[in-house]
Amino acid sequence: MAIDTKELMKHVRRIKVFTTKLVDEHISGEYHSVFKGRGMEFDEVRAYVPGDDVRSIDWNVTARMGHLFVKRFCEERELTIMFLVDISGSMCFGSQARSKAEVAAELTCLLALSAIKNQDKVGMILFSDRIERFIPPRKGRTAVMRLVREVLAAEETRRPTEMGAALQFLNKVQKRRAVVFMISDFMAGGYENELRVAAQHHDLIACPVSDPREQELENIGLQEILDPETGQLFLLDTGSRLLRDAFRQRTVAEEEARNKLLKKLRVDTIGLSTDRPFADDVRRLFHQRQRRKARG
């Protein structure tokens, strides 16, 4: 079902107002201190002065000029921020005021606005069981709002999730190292190898999105359940304690396995839920990375 354009733009503006305030008041300075440039880049050569590191001497210029010159470097500030966003059918779900897709759009807007404010470029890969859209990295607030529109406009996608293919595509189109926020409910399997490769090439940050009703079944008797990724209907007896316990155990086991994999690959995580604000979760990650950096 197509989303009404007026409603979509109204939603986009609401998210922009909400996230702009968070960026200005809380996030921007912390983002700048956490996400530095890729390293050092050449700036200029200058005459050697006593005390300069002899390893920085530019011997080619020195030979031409007849006296010592050294290379000067500065921090390469500009970053590329990529958002790898799941728009499969399960992301449409939300038992609270927001769906998981809306949370994904809000987080994308928050982080993208922070990136643009720091002169970084932002791009996006939208995926389900295929690559739905690739938006190359760009600068400017117009680029940010396009990302948000694309996430929201795809909210009604009814397709399963294939994370391995999305990660392979990321590595194919993004050759240079980037900061990658992977926003998904991670309702998929078989992506471990692709995740390992992506984590080696990029600064990968996992952003799993969940909803309270996906953690535990509510006891409401016989209930028809729709699988948003296949369209299949299931009749479940949620009054069965055995069924509810099995559902909870499976959910916990899947979450533990995912977290174990992310920890093994040293992938940072921002846990998100449809029933709570996420600004504190973002800042918590920033603080963790600052402390880690301070320890060297």
Dihedral angle sign, alpha carbons of residues 50, 53, 55, 57: negative
Same domain membership, residue 62 and residue 131? no
Same domain membership, residue 200 and residue 113? yes
Domain count for the chain: 2
Q: Which of 47, 76, 105 is the last residue of a domain?
A: 76
Task: Give the integer Cα–Cα distance in Å for 134 and 169.
Answer: 9
Which CATH number is 246's domain given?
Answer: 3.40.50.410
Q: What is the dihedral of CA 103, 38, 117, 197, to 10 degrees?
A: -20
Decide: helix, strand or coil at residue 127: strand
Task: Give the integer Cα–Cα distance in Å for 184 and 91.
Answer: 8
pLDDT digits (tens, 9 = 90+) for 112-160: 988 888 888 999 999 998 999 999 999 888 888 888 888 877 756 667 8
Same domain membership, residue 52 and residue 199? no
Same domain membership, residue 26 and residue 136? yes
Task: Give the integer Cα–Cα distance in Å for 181 and 193.
Answer: 18
Same domain membership, residue 118 and residue 66? no
In the chain, the N- to C-terminal Cα span, in Å, equals 51
3-state secondary structure 152-181: HHCCCCCCCCCHHHHHHHHHHHCCCCCEEE
- Give the rounded distance of the alpha carbon of 1 from its chain centre: 26
Same domain membership, residue 89 and residue 57? no
Same domain membership, residue 223 and residue 144? yes
Are the beta carbons of 123 and 181 closer than 8 angstroms? no
Residuewise pLDDT in 10s, the chain (296 residues): 445 667 777 777 778 777 887 787 777 777 877 876 545 555 568 888 888 888 888 898 889 888 898 887 655 557 899 999 999 988 988 888 889 999 998 999 889 988 888 888 999 999 998 999 999 999 888 888 888 888 877 756 667 888 999 999 999 999 888 999 999 999 888 899 999 999 999 999 999 999 988 887 787 888 777 666 666 777 877 788 898 888 889 889 999 999 999 999 999 999 999 999 888 889 888 888 888 877 76
Question: What are the residue ranges of helices labelled H in the chain?
Answer: 5-22, 28-34, 59-65, 100-117, 141-153, 163-173, 192-201, 212-215, 241-264, 279-295
Q: Which of 76, 98, 125 is the last residue of a domain?
A: 76
Same domain membership, residue 48 and residue 179? no
Same domain membership, residue 164 and residue 176? yes
Decide: helix, strand or coil at residue 197: helix
Query: Domain of 66?
Result: 39-76
Same domain membership, residue 166 and residue 60? no
Whether the full predicted model's pTM is greater than 0.85, yes or no, is no
Same domain membership, residue 279 and residue 132? yes
